Amino acid sequence: MSEQKTQPAELKIPGVDEPIELPIYSGNLGPDVIDVGKLTSQGHFTYDPGFVSTAACESGITYIDGDEGTLLHRGYPIEQLADKSDYLELCYLLLNGELPNAAAKTEFVDTIKNHTMVNEQLRSFFKGFSHDAHPMAIMCGVVGALSAFYHDSTDIDNPQHRMITAHRLIAKMPTLAAMSYKHAQGQPFIYPRNDMGYAENFLHMMFATPCEEYAVSPTLAKAMDRIFLLHADHEQNASTSTVRLAGSTGANPFASVAAGIAALWGPSHGGANEAVLTMLEEIGSVDNIPEYVRRAKDKDDPFRIMGFGHRVYKNYDPRAKVMQQTCHEVLEELGVQDDPVLAMARELERIALEDEYFVEKRLYPNVDFYSGIILKAIGIPVEMFTVIFATGRTPGWIAHWCEMIGSSYKIGRPRQLYTGSAKRDFVEVADR
Ligand code: SDX
């Protein structure tokens, strides 16, 4: 819960006699916030493009300390969750605020299993996409289309309706993700199986065919579950903020999550995992790394090292550390010795972390730097990497939506610094 501090902030504005008193609130962890809401009545807006210093909401779901490289989900460190928990247990934690006991966990897993199928009519949506449509374009479309099946029956002010919406999204995203892959392959869709675990079921829907039994490797299923877990939530990132902003108008939650998928697709956000592999392929060999590091530092060169840097983390992204460790485990268990792409990634990381430009700007590998190498080892094609991110991030998106709709919230409506034309009269075309 937030608490107002006794001493307000004082803002002194030239031409305004008295300093403006602004309330300060403290949370349980992290910086205090200064409530600037009343500035408009004083004839001023704050100005913070990209929301670098702006807290847009109060939340109790995830806490990040960028300087320490800390990530907590409902207070539990990501390292402990990755080591001891699993993806569906984390989904329950994000939605409910506490880890489930054995009975609650069994009930939650069974509930999710019973929502994995999608309406058969959704299959026809895929026919409208060309075979080479990017799977993220398909996901934007088909997740948004879920709102057509669950609109009149969803009362967002009913907590039970909000929870079943969360269950439906968590359950159906792997099914739709696998369908977007099968569409590109020209292969028949594979139905979800209730006798399989969440990640195992996803890999089965991705790679099985009706022609023969397909056994999913337990190693790959475990790695896939770990990847979903590491992507589950990340505070008020661009895509989660998009879901909150869309949802703040009272929009359908499936449509709001589709907006989040669109935001995630960008290469500065979730699209970075695909961009890392494309970048490593472009670099081509360890010998070329110094030239690319030089280009990354050149302001006149648009090249950036994808998978490096973060708005919040000015230390190593804790998820990247777990991802790197998982990378080694998976490649070792698969008997992949000296993966050249991994070797190049590790050399790029070593060189960059020693370079004063990256040290001075506090640029470290983020969650996307190693995830693509594991996904490639699992057999996931590069164009599906961001779809995997979207699938993993779904519980975070919908937990934040539930938290917002379940509390007192306002429609999001930022203001602007206007630099356009002053008022002027219309000029007839003959006089222009
Ligand atoms: C995700 O917000 C989240 O939590 C996101 C995420 C999540 O889980 O939801 O963690 C997932 O999106 C991770 C980030 C994935 N994106 C990338 O890896 C793309 C490469 N990274 C950059 O584009 C950048 O670091 C951002 C977009 C991630 C962060 O950008 P910021 O915070 O706006 O910082 P910036 O771009 O202003 O960079 C600060 C400085 C700049 O130099 P100056 O203008 O100060 O001289 O650092 C430089 C940048 O040029 N810089 C880089 C760099 N990233 C930043 N220089 C070279 N290579 C890079 N990768």
Instruction: Return the residue whose CA atom lies nearest to atom 20 of ligand 1.
Output: 306
Residue pair 209/188 in contact (Cβ under 8 Å)? The answer is yes
Whether ligand 1 lies within 6 angstroms of the CB of 392 is answered as: no
Instruction: Return the residue whose CA atom lies nearest to atom 12 of ligand 1.
Output: 269
Higher pLDDT, 3 or 62: 62
Residue 310 annotated in active site: yes
Q: Considering only CA atoms, which of 339, 271, 280, 342 is closest in space to residue 305?
A: 280
Measured distance between the N- and C-terminal CA atoms of the chain, rounded to whole angstroms: 60
pLDDT at residue 117 is higher than 80: yes
Q: Give 323-358 as a DSSP string.
A: HHHHHHHHHHHTT--S-HHHHHHHHHHHHHHHSHHH
Q: Which one-letter DSSP state was computed for residue 59?
A: -
Q: Which of 234, 269, 317, 339 is catalytic?
A: 269
Residue 73 annotated in active site: no
Q: Looking at residue 328, what is its pLDDT?
A: 86
Q: Looking at residue 251, what is its pLDDT?
A: 97
Q: Considering only CA atoms, which of 161, 32, 167 is closest in space to residue 92?
A: 167
Q: What is the mean pLDDT of residues 217-234?
A: 96
Whether ligand 1 lies within 6 angstroms of the CB of 393 is answered as: no
Distance 314 CA to ligand 1 centre (A): 10
With tokens 């869709």, the residue in question is: 189
- C-alpha 22: how far from chain center: 33
Q: Looking at residue 352, what is its pLDDT?
A: 87
Q: Give 201-264 as a DSSP string.
A: HHHHHHH-BTTB--PPPHHHHHHHHHHHHHTS--SS-HHHHHHHHHHTTT--HHHHHHHHHHHH
Residue 65 annotated in active site: no
With tokens 């935001």, the residue in question is: 263
| Three-class secondary structure of residue 11 per DSSP | strand
Q: Which one-letter DSSP state was computed for residue 410?
A: -
Q: Looking at residue 1, what is its pLDDT?
A: 67
The number of the ligand 1 atom at minimal distance from the alpha carbon of 239 is 9
Q: What is the mean pLDDT of residues 204-232?
A: 96
Q: Which of 134, 310, 317, 400 is catalytic?
A: 310
pTM to 2 decimal places? 0.95
